[in-house]
Structure 1
């Protein structure tokens, strides 16, 4: 309860400070759409391609396993009526073996790709943060907000292009 009272008091003080005309006139505020900057970065496409190349052999292996499993399943469905019980059983065992192999290789591969994508995404977000800091410093901004946290802003406050240009310079 005490913590909530402090939070309400701090919010009220911040709100009243922002509403005062003299404070508003002196502040320079910008808005940046981080998602748009991220997607427009040339490094983002390069990283996606490099991750695909890094895991290419494993992806190809999993794709081949999927094709094999599909082939065996279609063959079993198509030829089951004319196959002997022994042949059916062997084909079902092959299908089961492919499924087990897919489970053994597919999920870890997916997790490794996801982990690498997260690592690289975090590096790019760090570059974006540095670019935002640089734009804020050069432009003497007091506050730069994420576009996702703002309900409305005029286009004149959007510094996304400046941030993107700064990110391109750092590459």
Structure 2
């Protein structure tokens, strides 16, 4: 009786393990390289141009300050031998004040540009997610994995180009 129960238990375990192998073999899995898709989108260049034009006046202001600071430093280096100590100190103070102004304007500008870039990037990631969901549903994929999480996948499982094509058409 004990050997019969043992045999039935082993048979049940083997049967369940075979069913799980069959069930996992029936799953359809795809891979997508989200970073590659994001970098390849034509919308990325348009977004970059949009953000640059949005902050164009501030960028020009900081650039002009940088150029003026460079000019004053070159002037100090060129003419230091013929300047009095008072003139040198005055020029150094101008350079220092200009550097502080540039930092006060440049740092918030950089933060604002990074914030806007992240907002636009998140919109694109949303479009990519929608495209992945749509392709997965249409082609019957049970699972779509980010290609960077997988050490190797055959090209036949990669749907990155399909996602890129679909998102490129979105805008």
Same fold by TM (over 0.5)? yes
Cα distance in structure 2, aligned partners of 1:74 and 1:33: 48
Equivalences for 1:119-130 in 2 at 5 Å? 119-130=119-130
Q: After TM superposition, what 4+ stretches of structure 1 lie above 4 angstroms from structure 2?
A: none
Match of 1:149 in 2: 149
Shift of 1:168: 2.2
- Pairs within 5 Å for 1:11-160: 20-160=20-160
- For 1:49 and 1:104, the matched residues in 2 are separated by 24
Q: Give the total of aligned pairs.
A: 155
CA RMSD across the alignment: 1.6
Aligned to 2:166: 166
CA distances 1:79-129 after superposition (whole Å, capped 9, x unpaired): 111112222122112101111111110111111111111111011001000
In structure 1, distance between residues paired with 2:169 and 2:87: 64
TM-score, reference length from structure 1: 0.86
Residue matched to 1:10: none
Pick the structure with greater CA Rg.
Answer: 2
Q: Deviations over 1:1-49 (max 9, x none)?
A: xxxxxxxxxxxxxxx98x9430233100000000111111111111011
| d(CA) in 2 for partners of 1:85, 1:39 | 53
In 1: Cα distance, 2:170 partner to 2:103 partner: 41
Specify every segment of 5 or more residues in structure 2 that has no aligned partner in the other structure, as ranges. 1-15
